[in-house]
Amino acid sequence: MPYEYVVKELKEKLRNIRDQYKDKSETSPIEFVTGRVKPVDSIQEKMVRRNISEERLENDMEDIAGVRVMCPFVENIYEVVELIRKRSDMRIIEERDYVTNAKPSGYRSYHIVIKYPLELINGKKEFLAEIQIRTLAMNFWATLEHSLNYKKNGNFTSDIELELEQMGQKVYALDQEMSSIRNKILNCKEK
């Protein structure tokens, strides 16, 4: 249950950022926010894969509570990272920039691991949570790759792996082209 509360509060707080931009009639760097508590079978699978004992679970599994922030453009990802860095209600433990340095699979996203203090009826307790920040295009690729991977149980042949990685590069090229169009429009507005 505590992880459900963590996800609920984080989703609310991140959606509030988006709403503040809306209220000021400014373009939000956040398009939408989703979140989930890792399903038990997925926790068990990761405990085996990463050799995590039940006693170490709370300390060693960083993504039992996970929220995802979808951004329109790549540069928005770093704006959201800055907004999170400035907050006093969550403590950053680790940052992993898979946006600039894609994973070998082709996966791109910015991961921030935080400690989030939850006020429970028997006192305050900190829980680990992972915030994944990505563009809509990165989300498109990751969602499809994840579902294909799931159905194939992770056993891709190397040519399929290569094709997926190449699709990841195309998606990133699209992101960069969209940013370039956006910059041209912003320049026109300034003139």
Residues that bind ligand 0O2 (CB under 6 A): 11, 15, 31-35, 38, 42, 46, 50, 63, 66, 96, 103, 105, 107, 111, 142, 145-146
Nearer to ligand 0O2, 104 or 123 (CB): 104
Nearer to ligand 0O2, 39 or 123 (CB): 39
Number of CB atoms found within 10 A of residue 190's CB: 6
Q: Strand, helix or coil at 117?
A: strand
Nearer to ligand 0O2, 31 or 126 (CB): 31
**To the nearest whole angstrom, how small is the minimum distance from the Cβ of residue 167 to ligand 0O2?**
12
For residues 165 and 159, give the distance between their C-alpha atoms in angstroms, rounded to a whole number.
Answer: 10
**To the nearest whole angstrom, how small is the minimum distance from the Cβ of residue 41 to ligand 0O2?**
10
The identity of residue 78, as a single letter, is Y
Residues 6+ apart with CB under 8 A from 57: 43, 47, 64
For residues 49 and 59, give the distance between their C-alpha atoms in angstroms, rounded to a whole number.
Answer: 16
Q: Please check whether residue 29 is in contact with residue 79, taking contact to mean a CB–CB distance below 8 angstroms.
A: yes
In degrees to the nearest 10, what's the CA dihedral of 61, 10, 123, 42?
A: -30
For residues 113 and 95, give the distance between their C-alpha atoms in angstroms, rounded to a whole number.
Answer: 6
**To the nearest whole angstrom, how small is the minimum distance from the Cβ of residue 23 to ligand 0O2?**
13
- What is the DSSP pairing of strand 65-71 with strand 123-135? parallel
For residues 117 and 6, give the distance between their C-alpha atoms in angstroms, rounded to a whole number.
Answer: 8
Nearer to ligand 0O2, 31 or 58 (CB): 31
Is 130 assigned a catalytic role?
yes
**To the nearest whole angstrom, how small is the minimum distance from the Cβ of residue 99 to ligand 0O2?**
12
* Marked catalytic residue, from 130, 161, 165, 190: 130
**To the nearest whole angstrom, how small is the minimum distance from the Cβ of residue 69 to ligand 0O2?**
10
Nearer to ligand 0O2, 5 or 32 (CB): 32
* Active site (catalytic) residues: 130
